[in-house]
């Protein structure tokens, strides 16, 4: 009975942890690789797709239910030890998420930043292509002695980008595969759209989708959270008949004009509707109230639509 009370207290403490800031609103990958083996063994959920508050709560719920079903004292104690270890891991991880939120706040200011996450660029000096997966406003390491920085107009005093290079370019131009490159902004140039498909073993973990329409890679939700303004893949919309697509307005003014036409159609159709037999009787006061309500509502609709159309 005592063990169950302790287990319930741990469960409540973990659940409260997911409802505090920044754990509630931040986007992060749940560090399942740090969890004790006794906790991982109790999970039936696919852990590689868990992220954010919902993912953490799912793990906590499943682990607690699995522990509540145990009856062997040794197994119960092992599960409790794992829960205490999880609390320590959660405390350390919260500090990491706080740092993530601070970086997001700093990255929201894009003054002086020329390129975006997921953009494919070419190194001006060495020629290899790569996709941007991060940037620093100023280098976080000493780059003053790097060959690629020598002779640049701004030297090391400029933004630096983390770039995943194309493996084929690395083999051809650099003599072998390379990992993440740290490149000065003045050493990067844009690539024609036809040459922006690249390959690297780490691409799927940070920019897994290549959008053909924009010829750029789209980042994961966690990476897009760290770098605000990064485009995300939009969920697929259900297919609609061609005639419905043709009628859809392409901008806000078009939507307003469509609304005006619809309202005009309703107003011209109203005399035909008045021929219907009405069994309800209304007093003069009721008819006056309904007439005022219709007039006021119609006036508001026209005013909103006219304001949108005139933007």
pTM, 2 dp: 0.64
Mean pLDDT by 10 residues, the chain (311 residues): 75 88 85 81 70 87 82 83 87 89 91 95 96 95 91 94 97 94 96 95 93 93 89 49 43 50 45 43 51 50 45 45
Identify the pLDDT of residue 306.
Answer: 45
Identify the pLDDT of residue 47.
Answer: 65
Question: Mind giving me the DSSP string for the chain?
Answer: -HHHHHHHHHHHHHHHHHTSTTTTT---B--GGGS-HHHHTT--S-GGG-BHHHHHHHHHHHHHHHHHT---HHHHHHHHHHHHHHHHHHHHHHHHHHHHHHHHHHHT--TT----TT-EEEETTT--EEEEEEEESS-SS--TT-TTTTT-TTTTSS-EEEEEE-HHHIIIIISS----EEEEGGGEEE--GGG-----TTHHHH--EEETTTTEEE--HHHHHHSTT---PPPPPPP--HHHHHHS-SSHHHHHHHHHHHHHHHHHHHHHHTTS-------HHHHHHHHHHHHHHHHHHHHHHHHHHT-
């Amino acid at each position: 009975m005592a063990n169950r009370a302790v287990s319930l207290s741990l469960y409540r403490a973990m659940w409260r942890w997911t409802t505090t800031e920044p754990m509630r609103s931040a986007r992060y990958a749940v560090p399942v690789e740090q969890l004790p083996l006794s906790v991982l063994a109790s999970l039936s959920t696919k852990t590689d797709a868990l992220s954010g508050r919902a993912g953490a709560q799912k793990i906590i719920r499943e682990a607690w239910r699995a522990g509540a079903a145990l009856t062997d004292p040794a197994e119960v104690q092992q599960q409790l030890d794992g829960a205490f270890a999880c609390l320590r891991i959660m405390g350390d991880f919260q500090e990491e998420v706080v740092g993530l939120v601070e970086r997001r706040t700093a990255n929201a200011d894009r003054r002086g930043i020329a390129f975006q996450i997921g953009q494919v660029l070419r190194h001006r000096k060495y020629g290899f292509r790569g996709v941007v997966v991060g940037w620093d406003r100023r280098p976080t390491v000493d780059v003053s002695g790097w060959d690629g920085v020598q002779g640049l107009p701004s030297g090391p005093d400029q933004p630096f980008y983390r770039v995943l290079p194309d493996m084929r370019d690395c083999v051809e131009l650099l003599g072998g595969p390379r990992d993440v490159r740290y490149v000065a902004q003045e050493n990067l140039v844009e690539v024609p759209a036809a040459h922006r498909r690249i390959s690297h073993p780490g691409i799927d973990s940070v920019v897994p989708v290549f959008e053909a329409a924009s010829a750029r890679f789209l980042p994961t939700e966690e990476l897009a959270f760290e770098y605000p303004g990064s485009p995300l893949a939009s969920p697929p919309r259900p297919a609609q008949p061609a005639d419905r697509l043709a009628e859809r307005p392409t901008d806000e003014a078009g939507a307003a004009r469509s609304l005006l036409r619809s309202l005009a159609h309703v107003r011209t159709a109203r005399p035909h509707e008045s021929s219907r037999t009405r069994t309800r009787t209304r007093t003069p006061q009721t008819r006056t109230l309904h007439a005022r309500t219709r007039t006021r509502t119609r006036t508001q609709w026209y005013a909103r639509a006219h304001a949108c159309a005139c933007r």
